[in-house]
Amino acid sequence: MDGMHCTLIHAVGLSRGAVDTDALVKEAGGYAQMLTPFILTFDRPAVGSVGVEISGWPGRVFTKIVEILTHVTGGTGACFTAAPSRHPHMSVAYACAGAEAIDALALKAALADIDQPLSATVAVDRLLVEQWHDGTRIRWNPIAEVPLAGAA
């Protein structure tokens, strides 16, 4: 799962220059030190309306982090729309130009024909800051890592 990410919050309309990033990372780091590293387990891929994703659990810890980051980002005073993730998931493919030609039922059948478990676990010990997408691809520009309590 190298290179995969589990988005916590989209701060729609918030650019890096519109907020004191150092202060934001410092405040998020204070909250992160109250959370210990944990494991997310991700299941078999599912074909959805906007792409293919794998859902994960446990949701409770994930939701707590999303709530904290939404609060911290909202406290910056910057103008943006918060779009917090509602459940842990990783997108493995997004629908884009040409997606209408894909036979979703055939894709679902092909996934169902894989006769083995497809779940995997991911150790969560830090939060990465910043990504953006151009409407086609998600791009990473990591500007900070915020470790959880006790992370190496």
Domain locations in the chain as residue ranges: 9-147
Q: What tens digit of pLDDT does each residue of 3-23 get?
A: 677 888 888 887 778 888 888
pLDDT value, residue 134: 66
Which has more confidence, 139 or 120?
A: 120
Residue 148: pLDDT band with limits 50, 70, 90: very high
pTM value > 0.75? yes
Residues 6+ apart with CB under 8 A from 46: 52, 53, 54, 55, 111
Looking at mean pLDDT, say which of 42-46, 79-83, 137-141 comes out highest.
42-46
Q: Phi-psi region for residue 108, left (φ > 0), alpha (ψ -120 to 50) or beta?
A: alpha
The class level of CATH for 9-147 reads alpha beta
